[in-house]
Structure 1
């Protein structure tokens, strides 16, 4: 008698859950606003990133995966805002991996998921630069709240846990593309 792996069972459940549930519109709006606040916080710590975005003021980027979308527009200050409406974006970035489990494995493995890029080439190049060069210094932000030593200890513990999780994920086989849950 063959037994089913708990990971394939989890992948099936995640696939069904992701395709059948849609959060309420107010929650999606609130999460988008919070994400914009976080991204702007990180952008404000890097003047070169803001200078790149200033060149694209008024241009829009829509990131999407399955039924989830994040529509952004560059502001004149070199920051981001949530784009209102459903107009055609200047740049459309679509994550092509359909399986939530495979997507999580890719990200936790330290890799970028496959993305289909449609639209403005220069805007795409600058977005790619931002992805490559922007990093949130969470330890610095945390040290402002709880002090340097506790922030350093928490950050070290988080890095160790993330490294252990990445090693675990890299050791797990990925589901085949033809058998990935929809």
Structure 2
């Protein structure tokens, strides 16, 4: 008998659960601001990334997934800023996978989610380079707050948990796609 991933069971439950369709505009705007701050924090730790983005200053990138959209412009400093809603995008990235669980599962397995790219090819190449090469050093940031040893312990525990979850997700996929029957 084929085993079914618990993620698909949870996803089916959430699809049938009637959640509000859209959060208030202020929540969306504030969450976008927080995401931009986090991305800029990570970019500032990678001078090569900022140098690459400086070459694309003034360009606008729109990211879409289901009913959500996120539009940023590239600043002359090589960082990001929220773009005006009326500004046209030079590059549009559309996550084609509808399921948040499938996206999370792909990310846990070290894969990129499926994306449809429309627009400027050079800008798309720069964004792809950023995705492939820029990583957040969470342990270093936590060490500034709580010290080196606790930060290292916390990050190691999180990595162990993530690896266990990744193995679990991988087993669920293999069991679900094996098509074995009793």
For normalisation by structure 1, the TM-score amounts to 0.87
User: 1:121 corresponds to which residue?
Assistant: 121
Residue segments in structure 2 that go unaligned for 5+ positions in a row: 178-182
Q: Using CA pairs under 8 Å that are at least 6 residues apart, name the structure with larger relative contact order, 1 or 2.
A: 2
Which deviations, in whole Å up to 9, do the C-alpha atoms of 1:16-51 show, x marking residues without a partner? 559862111111100100000000001011111001
CA 1:15 to 1:105, structure 2 compared with 1: closer, same or farther past 3 Å? farther
Task: Tell me the CA shift for residue 106 of structure 1.
Answer: 1.5
User: 2:52 corresponds to which residue?
Assistant: 52
Residue segments in structure 1 that go unaligned for 5+ positions in a row: 177-182
CA 1:82 to 1:18, structure 2 compared with 1: closer, same or farther past 3 Å? farther
CA 1:94 to 1:156, structure 2 compared with 1: closer, same or farther past 3 Å? same
Q: CA RMSD in A?
A: 2.1
Note the 1:93-172 alignment, pairs <5 A.
Answer: 93-172=93-172
Alignment coverage as a number of residue pairs = 173
The answer to whether structure 1 residue 78 and structure 2 residue 71 are counterparts is: no
